[in-house]
Copies of this chain bind each other. A is one copy, B any other.
Amino acid sequence: MSFEIERKPHASADTLERGRLRRIQIIEAATQLFARTGYRGTGLAGIAAEVGVTQAALLHHFGTKEKLLEAVVRHRSEQDAPLIERIIGDGGIGMFDRLPLLAEHNVGRPGLSQLFTVLVAENLLPEDPLHEFFGDRYRALRDRIVTALRAGQERTEIRDDVDLVAVSQRLIAGMDGLQLQWLLNPDDTDLVEGFRELAEAMRRELAA
């Protein structure tokens, strides 16, 4: 049992604000570099140079490299969440029309989709630091889509003889896989068009 003691900061508001901004700068630089060269392939020195501070400054703010990675991933998740909600909307068949928005979002900033693709692949094993995080993330996204599709079933937009869990997994799989091919071979693959066709195929499959 411990009482929270009201702790007044012994540093100026300006100093505190400066630290907050610096932390964001670092997170953004790290995001770029992790996306480009992966977590294991990126050194703290490189990130520090990008920001214009010393390597020790990063450790001062985040403690360890792994904590920094956590911050990066959390920051990105928070930024992406609104877009995902916007696409899903009120669920049902209509969300398939808005799927290409996600592709456009990724095409515009290629580094961002790379970040998660690379990080997921670097955390496939249970002992990897972000394994649980990504496992949860995928489960949550799948459940969110299941819920959205179920709403569509209740509005009789979607046939009710389909396994929504399996369908959601297949939808996510299709998007991930297309993104992979696009990253590997940008000139050969039109991501937005790919998403559109994927959405159309699933729409036909699910329409009541």
Contact = CB atoms under 8 A, between A and B. Distances in A.
Interface of A: 36-38, 40-41, 114, 117-118, 120-125, 131, 134-135, 138-139, 163, 166, 169-170, 172-178, 180-181, 183-185, 188-189, 193-194, 197-198, 201, 204-205
Given A138-B181, A139-B185, A169-B194, 17 more contacts: A38-B40, A38-B121, A38-B122, A41-B122, A117-B124, A131-B184, A169-B178, A169-B181, A169-B189, A170-B178, A173-B174, A173-B175, A173-B198, A174-B177, A175-B177, A176-B177, A177-B177
Copies of the polypeptide in the assembly: 2
- Main secondary structure on chain A at its contact with chain B? helix
Contact of A172 (B37, B122, B134, B177): B177
A175 B180 CA distance: 12
Contact of A205 (B123, B176, B181, B201): B201
Closest 3 interchain pairs by CB? A173-B177, A121-B121, A177-B177
Nearest to A37: B125
A129 to B, nearest CB: 12
A39 B195 CA distance: 31
A120 B121 CA distance: 9
Contact of A124 (B114, B139, B175, B198): B114
